[in-house]
Amino acid sequence: MLLQLSLLHFTILLLSTTSSSGSIAKPGCPERCGTLSIPYPFGVGSGCSMERSFDINCNASYDPPKPFLSILNAEIIGINPTNIRINFPNLALSSYGQNGSIFSVIYRLSSTRYMFSDQNWLTAIGCDDMAAVTGQANRSFSGGCVSYCQSADDSGGVASCPDDTNGFGLGTGCCRTPIPKGTTNLFVNLTDVHRNWRANKLFSTSYAFVGEKVTSNFSYRLNDLNNATIFFSDNWAAKNTPPVLLDWKMGSENCDKSTRNPTTYVCQGNTDCVDFDTNIEGYLCNCSKGYEGNPYLDPGCQDVDECADSPCDPNAVCTNLPGSFNCSCRKGYSGDGMKDGTGCTRLPPSTIINVAIGLGVGLGFILVLAICFYLYKVMQKRKKRIDKEKFFEHLLLQHQTNEGTLERTKLFPAKELEKATDNFNVSRILGQGGQGTVYKGMLSDGMIVAIKKLKLVDEDQLEQLINEVVILSQINHRHVVKLLGCCLATEVPLLVYEFVSNGTLFELIHNPNADISLSWNMRLKIASDIAGALAYLHSASSVPIYHRDIKSSNILLDEKYVVKVSDFGTSKVVAVDQTHLTTMVKGTFGYLDPEYFQTSQFTDKSDVYSFGVVLVELLTGRRPISTDTTEGDRNLASRFLASMEAGDLDTVLDARVSEEGGREAVITIARLAQRCLNHKGKMRPTMREVATELESIRMSQMPSTARNEAEETSVYEVKPMLISDIDYTWASGKSEISSPSDTRPFIPDDIV
Ligand SMILES: *[C@@H]1O[C@H](CO)[C@@H](O)[C@H](O)[C@H]1NC(C)=O
Ligand SMILES: *[C@@H]1O[C@H](CO)[C@@H](O)[C@H](O)[C@H]1NC(C)=O
Ligand SMILES: *[C@@H]1O[C@H](CO)[C@@H](O)[C@H](O)[C@H]1NC(C)=O
Ligand SMILES: *[C@@H]1O[C@H](CO)[C@@H](O)[C@H](O)[C@H]1NC(C)=O
Ligand SMILES: *[C@@H]1O[C@H](CO)[C@@H](O)[C@H](O)[C@H]1NC(C)=O
Ligand SMILES: *[C@@H]1O[C@H](CO)[C@@H](O)[C@H](O)[C@H]1NC(C)=O
Ligand SMILES: *[C@@H]1O[C@H](CO)[C@@H](O)[C@H](O)[C@H]1NC(C)=O
Ligand SMILES: *[C@@H]1O[C@H](CO)[C@@H](O)[C@H](O)[C@H]1NC(C)=O
Ligand SMILES: *[C@@H]1O[C@H](CO)[C@@H](O)[C@H](O)[C@H]1NC(C)=O
Ligand SMILES: *[C@@H]1O[C@H](CO)[C@@H](O)[C@H](O)[C@H]1NC(C)=O
């Protein structure tokens, strides 16, 4: 059966080869004889076959022409990859008679490329006959069978042959015996053996032949064995003698040895060597898988374009490869792509690929969102800053419009201030305080300024600062350091002040190396100027402002020793309806109002107390807190008050004051200072009263020419500003100012 299948395959292969590439025979040789295709190594004509064994004689006398295997002179009716089929009636023996004769036939194939196939068997016909066979395959063998009938009408007079493939079945008038594979020489005897069991032969005819198993099934009437005309006619033999199968092979060794000898190895390119049989030497050639053609014919087997047969699923792309092909499903499909495989099935939309794509898109989207969010934040921050500036500008504008007259507070660009201070270079630092750092800077127009870089951080503080700046910017007093402008565009606010060049009052009074010591008149003028400035802040400006940190080191002096009250860092603007603000105590020890210290309530009189200390400093030339431990009381104010009470003022007065100041004037001022330092705030004079008194004392001390000059530069400038007649009280602190809405500055909602 296997052979049959492979034969069938070969036939198909031959047919397809014929149809596709065409060349199965040597070039120039006929490819067929009659109806039979003749592939190389077989060939018709000289030089067309591989060797003599494969020579085919195509006898054109027949119609259609008949091919004959030359060496056996047998008609060849089929050529297969492993065998040929021939009509070989010469292999039949027959006898007719009664005398127990023996007939023999000998066939030797050993000099050819052929062997009897094991698909043949030996058949004997007759009722008293023995067929014996000996031969040579891979070894010598022998066998035989007896055809026997019990009587002439045995089995109803009809003979039958055993159909077992090894010939061991029951038969009447017929027996069979197998022929082994690889049989090269065959010896057959047909012997009449009737004498072994009966005197006379039942039927006169004996008959034997070797032939293919599959077609050897036939039956006949026993009586026909007596009619010689039937069995000895060509017609019968031609009709009933089956073809003989002969295996063919190459070489005399198996593949492992044959392939080592290229000169005799006949297989061409893209072929496999196939052993003829594990036990019988010789080999065959076969096209490798995926190749087709004649494996014996140069250049060998050719690649099969499998794609021509569309072996792939309609949704797959077929790629022909050497010896094979590849079906790959199109995008969106999965499977092996083969028509007879799993084919290609459409991927559901929720596959990993889609998930991956979705994931990628999602991540991208998130990234874009994040970037947008970041940009939004940046924009918002910028907008806030711009809003801040706008808000500030608006505030300034509002107030300036209300008050009308003052110079506009300038908004400095951040760049200009950075440039002015050499990027806030440490070498430019003028001073450092709790509020921030003050830098010296030069603006682009050459103006020298002091720039305070605040430490503000939160919005509430910023709001208050703006409020203060708005108000401070309105102060245009010759004895108050002028706020020139500010800059809110930076991270922390920057305030730009006029630059006051000649140090502080503290340095002037207490520096022992000072070039000049202060004259009485200068002291009087300085005190008067400070008092005027404070009086103005307390009452003359539109909203009361408490300085809260009056001390000699906060009084700046220009080159002409004109004072400038500075450092409004802790200053507070006070709401109209409040008498005080409770705050954390701030200020400088030595200048601090003891009442404020006890109650934490800052009032305008707290500033008066601090001024009193400065006044005493001017009178005595001593520091507010003495560093000299030999003295009884280290606090200047206490000491001063004590000596006033004891009536020995001279012990504390500065020498130059005693010298230059008139006794009466000195005592008057000392009394004024005493009142300022009163422990009860209510008993202290207001700043206005102090200023007026100091001014009048100063006037009385001046010669008339100087007096006129002094008139021109009065203590405080009268400005067309409203001076509130409401009895303001002062408040301060971090807590929010709870003023009525009409006094509150405009604040855009988005700032808060
Ligand atoms: C062809 O066959 C005929 C009849 O059998 C025979 O007479 C003739 O010699 C053959 N020719 C060849 C070339 O074998
Ligand atoms: C029978 O056998 C003998 C030899 O054994 C032979 O000579 C003779 O011709 C045979 N007879 C017939 C009829 O064939
Ligand atoms: C056939 O008969 C001859 C002569 O009797 C004998 O030598 C030979 O061995 C026989 N062959 C077989 C296969 O029996
Ligand atoms: C001959 O071949 C047959 C089968 O083909 C095997 O069974 C046997 O062993 C072989 N004998 C020798 C001597 O190779
Ligand atoms: C052979 O003949 C017998 C009897 O005629 C029949 O039963 C059997 O099927 C046949 N075998 C084949 C293979 O034709
Ligand atoms: C032998 O067979 C032939 C053909 O079938 C027939 O004509 C003839 O009569 C037969 N002879 C005998 C004696 O039966
Ligand atoms: C040759 O190869 C084909 C498959 O490629 C196989 O079916 C066939 O049996 C092989 N022939 C021989 C003689 O091995
Ligand atoms: C078929 O081709 C695809 C893509 O070219 C490859 O991934 C696959 O391994 C191939 N399959 C075979 C059997 O060659
Ligand atoms: C600060 O100023 C000094 C002197 O002008 C200069 O040497 C230094 O490089 C400056 N520092 C920076 C950081 O610009
Ligand atoms: C104050 O200014 C004068 C010149 O007007 C100058 O000589 C003096 O050094 C300056 N003092 C201080 C402390 O800057």
Nearest CA to ligand 1 atom 14: 59
Question: Do 490 and 513 sit in the same domain of this protein?
Answer: no
Question: Do 616 and 688 sit in the same domain of this protein?
Answer: yes
Question: Do 135 and 234 sit in the same domain of this protein?
Answer: yes
513-to-509, 510, 517, 626 alpha-carbon distances in Å:
10, 9, 9, 18
Residue 346 falls inside a structural domain: no
H/E stretch holding 26 reads: none
Residue 100: predicted pLDDT? 55
Question: Do 231 and 266 sit in the same domain of this protein?
Answer: no
Look at residues 226, 242, 258 and tell me which one is the last residue of a structural domain: 242
**Among all ligands shown, which has an atom nearest to the Cα of 430?**
10
The pTM score is 0.49
Question: Do 18 and 118 sit in the same domain of this protein?
Answer: no
Residue 287 falls inside a structural domain: yes
Question: Do 35 and 175 sit in the same domain of this protein?
Answer: no
Q: Which of 158, 105, 111 is nearest to 135 (CA)?
A: 105
Spatial separation of the C-alpha atoms in residues 103 and 93, rounded to whole Å: 7
Spatial separation of the C-alpha atoms in residues 683 and 487, rounded to whole Å: 42
pLDDT per residue as tens digits for the range 686-735: 999 999 999 998 888 776 544 444 444 433 333 333 323 323 233 333 33
Our answer on whether the CB atom of 139 is closer than 6 Å to any ligand 4 atom is: yes
Nearest CA to ligand 9 atom 11: 425
Question: Ligand 6: distance of its center to the CA of 229 in Å?
Answer: 7
Residue 371: predicted pLDDT? 83
Indicate the residue type of 656: R
DSSP 171-200: -BSEEEEE--TTB-EEEEEEEE-GGGT-SS
Residue 390: predicted pLDDT? 67
Structure token digits, residue 486? 């500010």
For tokens 């199968």, what's the residue? 245
Cα-Cα-Cα-Cα dihedral of 540, 542, 544, 546, to 10°?
-80
Residue 282: predicted pLDDT? 94
Question: Do 123 and 26 sit in the same domain of this protein?
Answer: no
Number of domains in the chain: 4
Question: Do 236 and 282 sit in the same domain of this protein?
Answer: no
Question: Do 425 and 295 sit in the same domain of this protein?
Answer: no
Q: Is 654 a catalytic residue?
A: no
Residue 296: predicted pLDDT? 93
Residue 364 falls inside a structural domain: no
Residue 125: predicted pLDDT? 87
Residue among 117, 249, 286, 303 whose CB has most ligand 7 atoms within 8 A, to mutate: 286
Show the domain range for 12: 7-83+250-303
Residue 735 falls inside a structural domain: no
Look at residues 470, 498, 526 and tell me which one is the last residue of a structural domain: 498
Spatial separation of the C-alpha atoms in residues 664 and 81, rounded to whole Å: 151
134-to-92, 143, 180, 404, 608 alpha-carbon distances in Å:
16, 6, 10, 145, 152
Residue 12: predicted pLDDT? 39
Residue 461: predicted pLDDT? 67
Residue 134: predicted pLDDT? 93
Question: Do 564 and 669 sit in the same domain of this protein?
Answer: yes
Can you give the C-alpha Rg of the chain in angstroms?
A: 68
Residue 554 falls inside a structural domain: yes
What is the CATH classification number for the domain harbouring 400? 3.30.200.20
Residue 306: predicted pLDDT? 87
Residue 355: predicted pLDDT? 63
Look at residues 498, 523, 546 and tell me which one is the last residue of a structural domain: 498
Closest-lying ligand 9 atom to the alpha carbon of residue 422: 14
pLDDT per residue as tens digits for the range 272-283: 999 999 999 999
How far is C-alpha 167 from the geometric centre of its chain's CA atoms?
77
**Among all ligands shown, which has an atom nearest to the Cα of 98?**
2
Are the CB atoms for 194 and 205 separated by under 8 Å? no
For tokens 């119609």, what's the residue? 63
Residue 311 falls inside a structural domain: no
Residue 719 falls inside a structural domain: no
Residue among 6, 278, 287 whose CB has most ligand 7 atoms within 8 A, to mutate: 6
In terms of C-beta distances under 8 Å and separation of at least 24 residues, what long-range contacts does 24-29 make, across chains too?
24/294, 24/297, 25/297, 26/297
Residue 513 falls inside a structural domain: yes
704-712 and 687-701 are packed helices; what angle lies between their axes, rounded to 10 degrees? 150
Our answer on whether the CB atom of 185 is closer than 6 Å to any ligand 3 atom is: no
**Among all ligands shown, which has an atom nearest to the Cα of 172?**
5
Residue 144: predicted pLDDT? 92
Spatial separation of the C-alpha atoms in residues 637 and 207, rounded to whole Å: 163
Our answer on whether the CB atom of 11 is closer than 6 Å to any ligand 8 atom is: no
Cα-Cα-Cα-Cα dihedral of 258, 259, 263, 266, to 10°?
80
Q: Could you say which of 129, 192, 224, 549 is catalytic?
A: 549
Are the CB atoms for 337 and 344 separated by under 8 Å? yes
Spatial separation of the C-alpha atoms in residues 421 and 442, rounded to whole Å: 7
Which residues of the chain, if any, have pLDDT below 50?
1-21, 403-406, 576-577, 705-752
Structure token digits, residue 455? 């430490």
H/E stretch holding 254 reads: none
Residue among 93, 104, 185 whose CB has most ligand 3 atoms within 8 A, to mutate: 104
Structure token digits, residue 472? 């401070």
Question: Do 550 and 592 sit in the same domain of this protein?
Answer: yes
Question: Do 542 and 620 sit in the same domain of this protein?
Answer: yes
DSSP 713-742: T-SS---SS----S---B--SSSPP---GG
Question: Ligand 4: distance of its center to the CA of 184 in Å?
Answer: 14
